[in-house]
Structure 1
Amino acid sequence: MPRRLAALSLVVDDYDRAIAFFTQTLGFELREDTRLSETKRWVRVAPPGAETEFLLARAATPSQVAVIGQQGGGRVWLFLETEDFAADFARLSTAGVPFESPPRNEPYGTVAVFADPWGNRWDLIQYADPEGRSGTQP
């Protein structure tokens, strides 16, 4: 029986650009950056204390390049949970993160949609009920 979701691969165009965005802009930890070959690295990032990580995978083929920023099919597919929405929204806005609209209050919490440098759409979200996350989900 599986125990947890360990990691998700996120296809990016450049390892160093991705590391900078995730660590400097979003405040994630760089957990590993191991060179595997001249062109391939094993790069893991995650929010501090999180179990699930991103494996940053540099696109190496035309079909992989084609999915950069489109792994969610144009939908919000990444959800960054916060305990202090106002502070994190202000910090990310100041850092130049492009939000699609002002924050809004929904039955499930406070949320604003932003795009990462590759075009992936994210929710910055503070759940109304962080333990149960009850109510209508995004």
Structure 2
Amino acid sequence: MEEAVLDRLAAKSLEEVIIFVFDVMTPLLLQGVKRKGVQVMIDRVGTVSLFVHDQDRAKEFYTNVLGFELRADAPLYPGASARWVAVAPPGAETEVILYLPDENWEHYKQVVGQSQALTFNVTDMQALHSDLKAKGVKFVQEPDKQPWGTFAIIEDSEGSRLVLVEQPKE
């Protein structure tokens, strides 16, 4: 196979060979590099933790108000009163874990309801704003258009502030 590719390339102009290398070979080579473990070891954000007072109330807010998927709801560990509650926007890779601090997480109780700088990208701020307002969501900052995008800040069921950002339309 390699000889056939080389024979075909030999009959091409230098410009056609360069285009072939950049358009066809570069992505294939990069895939090979990733498979061999040469890539950066951290390749995505898996979860973001959000500490809450009431997991059921928070789960209700994120699934029924924001429309997130419920990915998991199971005991955090055997005998725990807290659960592993994972939610995420439909199709998203990164999950938001709604943690209830228990005796093992006592030091996190102070951050419940405090800004934890969680930002969600949105596709239509105006439509989302109308929908969330109709559902009674508190807007701490109404949508504000800036050169870098339109942002708003809402408060979830636990008092945590969430930033919503719509990228500017090209």
**Comparing 6-15 and 33-42, the one that deviates more:** 33-42
Which of 82, 85, 92 is matched with 1:40 structurally?
Answer: 82
* 1:64 has 2:104 as partner: no
Cα distance in structure 2, aligned partners of 1:112 and 1:123: 6
User: Residue 12 of structure 1 contacts residue 118 of structure 1 at CA under 8 Å; is this kept in 2?
Assistant: yes
Gapped regions of structure 1 (runs ≥ 5): 131-138
Q: Which has the larger radius of gyration?
A: 2
SS for the counterpart of 1:100 is strand
Q: Matched residue of 1:99: which SS?
A: strand
Question: How does 1:1-138 map onto structure 2 within 5 Å?
Answer: 1-35=41-75, 36=77, 37-61=79-103, 62-70=106-114, 72=116, 77-128=117-168
- Bigger shift: 99-108 or 13-22? 99-108
Residues 108 and 94 (structure 1 numbering): CA distance in 2 closer, same or farther, change over 3 Å? same
| CA displacement, residues 75-131 of structure 1 (integer Å, 9 cap, x when unaligned) | xx121211111111100111111112432110011111111122222222211158x
From the two aligned structures, give the one with the greater strand fraction: 1
- Answer yes or no: is the 8 Å Cα contact 2:57–2:157 preserved in 1: no
**Contact 1:11/1:57 (8 A) holds in 2:** yes
Counterpart of 1:43, as a letter, is V
Runs of 4+ in 1 over 6 A off after TM superposition: none
Shift of 1:3: 1.6
Larger RCO (CA within 8 A; separation ≥ 6) = 1
1:14 deviates by 1.5
Which has the larger displacement, 15-24 or 119-128?
119-128
- Number of residue equivalences: 126
SS in 2 for 1:19: helix
Runs (5+) with no aligned partner, structure 2: 1-40
